[in-house]
Amino acid sequence: MVASAALVDGAAAVAPGGSVASAPTRGTRRRDWKGYLYVLPAFVVFAVFLGMPLLQTVWYSFWNWNGFGTATWAGLDNYTEIVSDPSILRSFGHSGVLIVFYSFVPVAVALMLTAILSRSPRLRGLGLFRTLLFLPQVIASVVVATSWIAIYSPDGLINQGLRAVGLEGVTRAWLGDFDTALPAIGLVGTWLGIGLCLVLFLSGVATIDGELFEAVRLDGAGLWREFFAITLPAIRGHIVIALTLTIVAALKTFDLVYVTTRGGPGSATTVPAFEAYNRAFNTREVGSASAIAVTLTVVILLITLAVSRLQPKEDPR
Amino acid sequence: MRRSTLTGAATLAALVLTLTACAPGGGSATSSEAGSATASSAALSTDVAAAGDITLTVWDQNTDPGINDAQEALNTAFQEKYPNVKIERVSRSFADLKTTLGLALDAPDAPDVVQANQGYPDMGTFVEAGLLRPIGDYATLYGWDTAFPAQQLSLNSFSADGKTWQGDNLYGVSQTGEVVGVYYNKAKLAELGITKPVTIEDFGAALQTASAAGTLPLEFGNTEKSPGIHLFGIVQAATLGATGVNELVSGKSGAWTDAGTVEAADLLTQWTTAGYLPTGSSGISRDAARDNFAGGGSLFYVDGTWRLSQLGEAMGDNVGFLALAPAGSTDPVTTGGVGLAWAITGKTTKTDAAAAYIDFITNPAAAAVLLENGNLPAVVPADYTPAAGSLESDVISTWNTVNETNGLVPYLDYATPTFYDTITAAVQELVAGQYTPQQFADTLQADAAKFAESR
């Protein structure tokens, strides 16, 4: 954070000097040089631990390589495979489904809860609810996955509940059924996401001037009117952040799938991150794995950019 | 400004150039070095004490209770015998070993002794990259070449280029024997009035009888995806026969779309449609299935002999073990072989100590330790007699029978580097009715054909 601020400052200091026709003064130059020095440590860390591996991955993606022997040049083959291999395409499709569960549903539910909770800010035990709803975020995802395996299992909580109300016919192995496995994983994502979104939105609501609410209430506005007139515009920035975080989480999904289904049944729950891992370490197709990883990164960047355009131009505050 | 942009671009270009200087994996000296190491057969020695104070790093997958106890006991005994050697044991589950062993072998500080899985995905890849040392010389020195049956040695052999499995170079010896077969609940079998099935046809009939009597015939939990290989494997072994499966997996002849394989898939489909297997098996974990069988929840359960100590402990003498024979035969044909091969890595300099260690944990004295802890050794000492009527006696007699009658067929995932992935997913599709037997066979054949092309 500090380092990037220095970068911006440094660039700002240079830009006018560079654009002016006359030679820049010595002083500007020295400051300019120092600015980069501040950035250097952060840049070195970035370059070594992120930049290099990233470039390496891009490089590997142009080869057919099993990880040990000699590689053969593949050119763009690994990328054309991504669009021609139905199993990879399907995994990206699954990610699309997960975005709905991980992002859209939690944001919608959290917005509804925000509308209700912001109406009565002096709700008793609000802190407790906030903590409880945020709790899933704090638990390690392997633990989350393991608990949900038990909940979804043939004799798990959900099926017990269904049997208790006479819905024996609906019971199934939720994670082992071709039709329900992906939504079942998605719902875990929903459960994870709601708390995060709600805490974000409530913190946004907290920044709204209380007088505004009083004013609309005096004008006789109801819950929904108040929400759409005041709350929603005020927390637009927070919604964009929530969307970005949850969409990225959906696209990056690996741990839940790895622990609960290993991509199964069949390939009903494979996702790109799992495919990349599986190809790199299990089936020894390092080039193909790298190409999937690179494509996934590009997709995430593009979607994040698109979502960020929803960000309000001015700071709402 | 302009200059710094230039510098940045130059740095980036330099980075890319550094990376592009060589192909991944290419130019690395590993393979050529290892290749030359094989040729130079410096004087071998069985004298471990002469090596001075050394540490042997050993990677194994002996994590199940019975085999873990045996391994610990053997390691301790080895260190007592050779106080100058310290064993550093790294123990991983099979799945974790599969994903990490390659990286470890390729690292500069590679382990000295490892357990490598047979077949093309692991051993073949490692041999091709020069990461394992051929051990034919030590086999002669220690007599492994005569102590182990030829079929076992052949499973642990490859051609020097890693392209042909069951080739002429030995890369490891195995500690344990493995047979996948059918565990059955003796009391339930008697209760249902069924005689112990011998052939695959008897087995199908027994499933039907149990189902008609309201007992779950065959417990099956396949969340981890690997149990699917075993279930399909034992059926295919009985429908296609030993030679057929062996030729198919080693890539010598045959196609996965041939009649025997399709017939096996068809049988499995019939059994699932008839409800002989639990519905939603892909959502049941393998441990849950084992526990349900052990608790009397089903008549049969398919798994390997590595479950010997666990099921024996849980069910006492109420559990039996059998392997199925093809129709019209009495000689069982089933999936199995030997435990992961204990191999010497290509990078180790402590080859003498490594070989001595491998001998120590696989010789007849080690076999006794393995038996004591409820495991099936690769070679059961001739004078060993298990308690009559025990699960152990069933397991040992099955092992001896399939070895004598050449009834062992290799694990199907040895076929190609991607086969594990392909067949495990395909079995889940098959038992869920998503694939017809023919589609199932086509999927497997497509994978095999792709590999055959690249070889």
Q: Is B282 exposed, middle or buried (0-12, 13-18, 19+ CB in 10 A)?
A: buried
CA–CA dist B360, B112 (Å, integer): 15
Using the beta-carbon criterion (under 8 Å), do A266 and B417 form an inter-chain contact? Answer: no
Which residue of B4, B20, B282 is the best one to mutate when testing the A interface, meaning the one whose CB has the most A CBs within 10 A? B282
Look at A137-141, B17-21, B76-80 and tell me which has the smallest mean pLDDT.
B17-21
CA–CA dist B434, B424 (Å, integer): 14
CA–CA dist B398, B28 (Å, integer): 46
Instruction: List pLDDT tens digits, range A124-171.
Output: 777 788 888 888 888 998 999 999 999 998 889 999 999 999 998 899
CA–CA dist A93, A268 (Å, integer): 11
Q: What is the mean pLDDT of residues B175-190?
A: 96
What residues of B are in contact with residue A68 (Cβ under 8 Å)? 25, 30, 102, 105-106, 125-126, 128-129, 131
Q: What is the pLDDT of residue B31?
A: 41
Name the closest residue on chain A to residue B2, using Cα atoms. Answer: A18
Mean pLDDT (chain A) is 85
- Chain A nearest-CA distance from B224, in A, is 7
- Does residue B6 have a pLDDT over 70? no
Which percentage of chain A shows pLDDT scores above 90?
57
Using the beta-carbon criterion (under 8 Å), do B24 and A60 form an inter-chain contact? Answer: yes
- Contact of A62 with chain B, judged by CB distance below 8 Å, is answered with no
Name the closest residue on chain B to residue A14, using Cα atoms. Answer: B1
Q: What is the pLDDT of residue B36?
A: 39
What residues of A are in contact with residue B99 (Cβ under 8 Å)? 281-282
Using the beta-carbon criterion (under 8 Å), do A71 and B417 form an inter-chain contact? Answer: no
- Runs of H (alpha helix) within chain A: 2-19, 26-46, 52-60, 77-84, 86-99, 105-119, 126-138, 141-152, 157-164, 181-206, 210-218, 223-226, 232-234, 236-252, 255-260, 272-277, 286-308
Count other C-beta atoms under 10 Å from residue A273's C-beta. 20
Contacts with B, A 189-248, CB within 8 Å: none
- Confidence category of residue B253, pLDDT binned at 50, 70, 90: very high
CA–CA dist B127, A69 (Å, integer): 10
Q: What is the mean pLDDT of residues B253-259?
A: 95
- Does residue A177 have a pLDDT over 50? yes
Name the closest residue on chain B to residue A269, using Cα atoms. Answer: B425
Q: What is the pLDDT of residue B14?
A: 53
Amino acid at the residue A271: V
- Does residue B33 have a pLDDT over 80? no
What residues of B are in contact with residue A267 (Cβ under 8 Å)? 425
B386: helix, coil or strand?
A: coil
pTM: 0.83
Which percentage of chain B shows pLDDT scores above 90?
75
A/B interface, count of CB pairs below 8 Å: 139
Q: Is B3 exposed, middle or buried (0-12, 13-18, 19+ CB in 10 A)?
A: exposed
CA–CA dist A280, A256 (Å, integer): 19
What residues of B are in contact with residue A52 (Cβ under 8 Å)? 15
CA–CA dist B322, B130 (Å, integer): 40
Indicate the residue of B103, B281, B434 with minimum beta-carbon distance to A176.
B281
Indicate the residue of A56, A69, A266 with minimum beta-carbon distance to B434.
A266
Q: What is the mean pLDDT of residues B154-173?
A: 93
- Does residue A10 have a pLDDT over 90? no
Q: What is the mean pLDDT of residues B385-401?
A: 93
Degrees, nearest 5: CA angle B147-B151-B155: 105
ipTM > 0.85 (yes/no):
no
Interhelix angle A157-164/A141-152, rounded to 10 degrees, is 30
Q: What is the pLDDT of residue B18?
A: 55
Name the closest residue on chain A to residue B126, using Cα atoms. Answer: A68
Q: What is the pLDDT of residue B22?
A: 65
Tell me B49's DSSP state. G
What residues of B are in contact with residue A282 (Cβ under 8 Å)? 98-99, 420-421
- Chain B nearest-CA distance from A68, in A, is 6
Q: What is the pLDDT of residue A315?
A: 53
Tell me A170's DSSP state. G
Name the closest residue on chain B to residue A72, using Cα atoms. Answer: B23
- Does residue B215 have a pLDDT over 70? yes
- Does residue A69 have a pLDDT over 50? yes
Q: What is the mean pLDDT of residues B290-302?
A: 96
Residues 6+ apart with CB under 8 A from B6: none
**C-alpha distances in angstroms, B112 versus A202, B30, B175, B321?**
57, 15, 17, 37
Using the beta-carbon criterion (under 8 Å), do A263 and B283 form an inter-chain contact? Answer: no
Using the beta-carbon criterion (under 8 Å), do A264 and B285 form an inter-chain contact? Answer: no
What residues of A are in contact with residue B4 (Cβ under 8 Å)? 14, 36
Using the beta-carbon criterion (under 8 Å), do A70 and B26 form an inter-chain contact? Answer: yes
Instruction: List pLDDT tens digits, range A256-291.
Output: 999 999 998 999 999 999 999 999 988 889 999 999
Asked if B227 contacts B221 with a C-beta cutoff of 8 angstroms, the reply is yes
Which residue of B428, B429, B439, B455 is the best one to mutate when testing the A interface, meaning the one whose CB has the most A CBs within 10 A? B428
CA–CA dist A115, A235 (Å, integer): 11
Q: What is the pLDDT of residue A30?
A: 54
Indicate the residue of A59, A60, A173 with minimum beta-carbon distance to B284.
A173
What residues of A are in contact with residue B418 (Cβ under 8 Å)? 283, 285
Asked if B414 contacts B119 with a C-beta cutoff of 8 angstroms, the reply is yes
- Confidence category of residue B206, pLDDT binned at 50, 70, 90: very high
- Chain B nearest-CA distance from A83, in A, is 18
B360: helix, coil or strand?
A: helix
Contacts with B, A 135-194, CB within 8 Å: 149, 152-154, 172-178, 181
Left if phi > 0, otherwise alpha if psi is -120 to 50, otherwise beta: which for A240? alpha
Residue position matching structure tokens 């993606």:
A61
Q: How many CA atoms lie within 13 A of B160 on its CB side?
A: 11
Which residue of A68, A91, A270, A281 is the best one to mutate when testing the B interface, meaning the one whose CB has the most B CBs within 10 A? A68
Using the beta-carbon criterion (under 8 Å), do A263 and B425 form an inter-chain contact? Answer: yes
> What does the DSSP assignment read for A253-304?
--HHHHHHTTT-STTTT--HHHHHHIIIIIS--HHHHHHHHHHHHHHHHHHH
Name the closest residue on chain B to residue A18, using Cα atoms. Answer: B1
B148's tokens: 């182990």
Q: What is the mean pLDDT of residues A298-314?
A: 87
- Does residue A310 have a pLDDT over 90? no
CA–CA dist B398, B376 (Å, integer): 11
What residues of B are in contact with residue A67 (Cβ under 8 Å)? 25, 102-103, 106, 125
